[in-house]
Amino acid sequence: MQPWCLSVLISGRPCSILAWYNNGAIFLDDRLQQQTDVMTRSMLVHEMVHYLQDLSGRYDNSSCDDHARREREAYAIQREYGIKASGSVLYIHMIIPPCPQS
């Protein structure tokens, strides 16, 4: 379990993160392991975008603003994949916490 999910569970809210990328590896929650639907595949595409972003070297992993840019790009590509794969629009809720004010 990822630390952010643990903090959510401690607060009493369920963790809704089903896929994540970390240090060259993509993780899928056990609930997704046997799923082949477009939404599940689009989540994998989203995480693959993060892998490619790391390879590109275009982003500073310690920058909150770059994190937000990475997420917006990954969600945009995930949405485009979902539209092409399903032939219709998928609703994808973007979760990008605001950066702290300096």
CA atoms of 69 and 59, how far apart (whole Å): 9
Report the Cα 30 to chain-centroid distance in Å.
16
Please tell me the total count of domains within the chain.
Answer: 1
Beta strands in the chain (DSSP E): 19-22, 25-28
Cα–Cα–Cα angle for 51, 61, 47, rounded to 5 degrees: 25
Structural domain span for residue 66: 3-86
Show pLDDT as tens, one digit a residue, over the chain (102 residues). Answer: 444 454 444 455 666 778 889 889 998 888 888 888 999 999 999 999 999 999 999 999 889 899 899 999 999 999 999 999 999 877 787 777 788 875
Q: Would residue 38 count as lying in a domain?
A: yes
Q: Would residue 57 count as lying in a domain?
A: yes
CA atoms of 22 and 101, how far apart (whole Å): 25
**This prediction's pTM:** 0.79
Q: Would residue 101 count as lying in a domain?
A: no
CA atoms of 5 and 43, how far apart (whole Å): 17
Q: Would residue 66 count as lying in a domain?
A: yes
CA atoms of 13 and 86, how far apart (whole Å): 31
Per-residue model confidence (pLDDT) at position 12: 58
